[in-house]
Amino acid sequence: MIIFGNAKLCNSKIHYTDKKQSVGDEMNKRKLALGNRNIVGARVTEARNQIGLKQKDLLARMQVAGVPISLPALSLLEGQKRPVSDIELKALSEILDVDVRWLLGQIEKS
């Protein structure tokens, strides 16, 4: 059996499945444990989720702000698997409308 998207090729016949990926309010949950390469990743995820942004939306806003970052890099940042630059930290603070000190864990969210 060979699977192409939502079509399965079985013995020269194609069968289509009606399985659709969940779309809507439900966001993907982190599958791996957080890393230790930065201290802001978990708070970036928290702030992003609180304002209802998806990773790709945050990515687009960061790129418009002039921060050259890819989706895998943003995912690694949120997973605390890669360091965060000062330029990224400033942009994240402005886009997510949170204090840089909160992202760094120095103050509580007001």
Over residues 18-64, the pLDDT tens digits come to: 444 444 445 567 667 888 999 999 999 999 999 999 999 999 999 99
Q: Which fold has domain 33-110?
A: 434 Repressor (Amino-terminal Domain) (1.10.260)
One-letter amino acid for residue 88 of the chain: E
Exposed / middle / buried, residue 103 (Cβ in 10 Å: 0-12, 13-18, 19+): buried
Query: What is the chain's mean pLDDT, rounded?
Result: 83
By percentage, how much of the chain surpasses pLDDT 90?
A: 66
Task: Answer yes or no: pTM beyond 0.85.
Answer: no
For residue 11, the model assigns a pLDDT of 54
User: Domain limits of the chain?
Assistant: 33-110
pLDDT at 97: 97
Greater model confidence, 92 or 20? 92
